[in-house]
Amino acid sequence: MFKKLSLTLVAAAMLVLPALSVPSSAASQGETVASGQLLNNRVLIPLRTVSQHLGAGVEWSQQEKIVSINKGDSKILLAANFKRALVYALPVDPSNVKKIDLDAPAQVIQGTTYVPLRFVSQSLGANVGWNQQTKQATITVGTKKIVVNMEQPTVSLSSKQRITDARLNLLSKKLNEAMDVSSIKNVSTHFKPYFTDKFIKSINRNKEQSAKYETPITSVEYTSKTTATLSESVIVANGLTAEDQYVEDRTAYLVYTGGVWKVDRVSHTIRVIPTGFGK
């Protein structure tokens, strides 16, 4: 199971802003990293840079979308789009695993994997903080301190144009409905407020069944002022040996048209992750 873990990728971290605070003077010292980001009131921090200062190694498996962190005598796994980390003592014994529930999921954004900042504290023994005034995050272990400054967002949108959680949840619900349109009398009329005409036509042509997804837990990624993507995942089956789980990922490509966000197309992929990331 763990032989699949290959090298390379930068991971980062998320933190709900009100959760932690530090005095402004605490964010003025230590190593400085300039690649933090703010996304939907969450602080994103590059975990690879942090882990190097904390003496932890980071590996990334592109096929399984799993981050592996080696710290001392432990191996920590995080799977994209799941709010749980698995901690194994080395050498790895799948029957002896500790589960850490996260306040936000590991998420891939623009080719980079992000994980909750609180996870750094939970699993790596670091103290973490956020300075609202200076927009800086701090990570401290012993005498080592890392200060992370926030970058400007690559896509700047007004609050009015940003998609709301309620709209995301509604679009996800409608995508679930689109997996079986046999009971819907007028597909075009039913989905017109939520899907583009192009996508509605593809629904009529392709009526294959797919898994039902729950309320989105990942953040939307804006790729331009009028386009965005939303990634969701669901466990569809367990492997024959009970060591693996099959996961289906759904990526919805959104467009801003007529003053609202709609689904323009959808893609599905299958991957295999270790058992334990689900509920």
pLDDT tens, per residue, the chain with 279 residues: 444 433 333 344 444 444 444 444 443 456 887 777 776 677 777 777 677 777 778 888 989 999 888 888 888 899 999 999 998 888 877 778 889 898 888 888 777 777 777 777 777 778 888 888 888 888 888 788 888 888 777 788 888 899 999 999 999 999 999 988 888 889 999 999 999 999 999 887 665 556 789 999 988 999 999 999 999 999 998 877 778 899 999 999 999 999 999 999 999 999 999 998 987
3-class DSSP assignment, residue 69: strand
**Cβ–Cβ < 8 Å for 269, 108:** no
Domains of the chain with bracketed CATH: 2-150 (3.30.457.10), 165-274 (3.10.450)
Distance CA 44, CA 14 (A): 5
- Cα dihedral 151, 157, 160, 166, rounded to 10, equals -70
Distance CA 147, CA 203 (A): 48
| Residue 41 tokens, joined | 């009131």
Site of tokens 């959104």: 254
